[in-house]
């Protein structure tokens, strides 16, 4: 009798395979609302084949949540005839994937850790390709009165206030690293900050979810500008601190030494730093959001902090 069960299940598999064949999309631009949540229809039309090579890039969440990678991915695939797999994670995890040899290219934003990654021999070279700034955002009534302060003064005020909530990424990401750096120049030991009270919330999520959480809790958080602008219309959060050298946010691309496809990895680095794509990055989101999300900077020697 069990064979009926098995044949039943197999039948379902076959049936669904048949249905799937019919519903195979013809790469038409689908409904707006669903492409946002899901994926660009462009790369859906080609089922994964063994003969098409795949290249894996691990990216920091901010370059993913802004939609920049979904925008660039089909162009790269078209130009080089390769399936590009974009994996998103915090900078810490992205670099860990690189150390384990699970990805070919990394695009992240944490200078010291990237330089360490290269020094340890895991990455070829740190090539910067775009920058923007971090912002401290909070609910418009600004309960702790941070408006116009320097980042380090704002953090000092939050620490002394002890009531206004601050949501930290708390996930070892590049943004989390930047936050720790600001605590350091404000003169605090990060462990003291973490354990100082209920006002300090460790969210443990990507940038988008953290912004949503800060909005729900009427809290402050540190965000990269790109993700904040992308999410702004759904949030009741305003920038309160946006001036200070420490807030510079530089994105770079690193080829992983152990990549099985080093030539294609190099192609991706060249693609990102090419004049055409640099222009596209500079113009990305300008029409939609009325503001530049990323400033291209390949070959300009901007290294970041």
Partner 1 sequence: MPQLLEAFRIALDMIVSGDPVVFSIAFRTLMISVTATVIAALIFIPVGCLIHFNRFRGKRFLVSIIQTLFSVPTVLVGMLVFLLISRAGPLGSLGMLFSPGAIVLGEVLLIAPILTGLTISALSGMGRDVADTALSLGAGQLQMVLKVLSESRYMVLTAVLMGFGRAVSEIGVAIIIGGNISGYTRTLTTAIALGVGKGETSASIALGIILLALAMIVSVTVNTLQHSEK
Contact footprint for partner 1 (CB under 8 A) = 1-2, 4-13, 16-17, 19-20, 23-26, 28, 30-31, 33-41, 43-44, 48, 56, 65, 70, 73, 83, 85-88, 99-102, 205-206, 208-209, 212, 231, 234, 258, 260
Q: Could you tell me the smallest distance in angstroms from the CB atom of residue 93 to partner 1?
A: 10
Q: Which is nearer to partner 1, 9 or 185 (CB)?
A: 9
The CB-of-146 to partner 1 minimum distance in angstroms stands at 24
Q: Between 275-283 and 262-273, two packed helices, what is the crossing angle to 10 degrees?
A: 60
Instruction: Report the residue number, 206 or 304, with the smaller CB distance to partner 1.
Output: 206
Task: Please identify, using beta-carbon distances, which residue of 208 and 296 lies nearer to partner 1.
Answer: 208
**CA–CA dist 227, 237 (Å, integer):** 12
Closer residue to partner 1 (CB): 17 or 287:
17
Q: What is the residue-wise DSSP string for 111-136?
A: HHHHHHHHHTTSEEEEEEEEEEEEEE
Of the pair 69, 251, the CB lying nearest partner 1 is at 69
- Of 104 and 152, CB closest to partner 1: 104
Helix (H, G, I), strand (E, B) or coil at 28: coil
272 neighbors 105 (Cβ within 8 angstroms): no
Distance of closest approach, residue 10 Cβ to partner 1, in angstroms: 6
Instruction: Kindly state the smallest distance separating residue 186's Cβ from partner 1, in Å.
Output: 29
| Residue 155 DSSP SS3 | helix
With residues binned 3-state (H G I as helix, E B as strand, rest as coil), the percentages for the chain, rounded to 5, are: 45, 20, 35
Burial of 38 (0-12, 13-18, 19+ CB in 10 A): exposed
What does the alpha-carbon distance between residue 109 and residue 253 come to, in Å, rounded to a whole number? 9
Q: How far is the CB of 176 from partner 1 (least distance, A)?
A: 16
CB of 156 to partner 1, least distance (A): 31
């Amino acid at each position: 009798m069990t064979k009926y069960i098995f044949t039943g299940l197999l039948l379902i598999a076959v049936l669904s395979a048949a249905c799937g064949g019919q519903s195979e999309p013809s790469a038409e631009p689908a409904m707006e609302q669903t492409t946002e949540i899901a994926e660009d229809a462009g790369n859906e039309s080609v089922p994964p084949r063994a003969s098409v090579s795949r290249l894996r890039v691990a990216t920091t969440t901010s370059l993913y949540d802004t939609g920049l990678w979904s925008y660039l991915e089909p162009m790269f695939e078209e130009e080089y005839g390769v399936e590009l797999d974009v994996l998103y994670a915090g900078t810490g995890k992205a670099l860990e994937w690189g150390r384990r040899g699970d990805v070919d290219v990394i695009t992240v934003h944490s200078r010291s850790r990237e330089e360490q990654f290269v020094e340890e021999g895991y990455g070829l070279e740190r090539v910067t390709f775009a920058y923007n700034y971090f912002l401290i955002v909070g609910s418009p009534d600004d309960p702790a009165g941070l408006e116009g302060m320097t980042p380090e003064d704002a953090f000092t005020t939050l620490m002394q206030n002890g009531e206004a909530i601050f949501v930290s990424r708390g996930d070892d990401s590049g943004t989390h690293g930047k936050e720790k750096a600001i605590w350091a120049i404000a003169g605090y030991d990060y462990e003291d900050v973490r354990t100082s009270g209920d006002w300090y919330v460790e969210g443990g999520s990507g940038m988008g979810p953290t912004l949503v959480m800060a909005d729900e809790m009427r809290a402050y958080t540190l965000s990269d500008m790109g993700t904040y602008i992308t999410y702004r219309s759904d949030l009741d959060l305003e920038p309160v601190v946006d001036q200070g050298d420490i807030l510079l946010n530089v994105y770079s691309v690193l080829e992983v030494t152990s990549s099985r496809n080093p030539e294609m990895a190099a192609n991706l680095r060249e693609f990102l730093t090419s004049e055409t794509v640099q222009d596209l990055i500079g113009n990305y989101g300008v029409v939609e959001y009325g503001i530049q999300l990323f400033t291209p900077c390949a070959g300009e020697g901007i290294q970041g902090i």
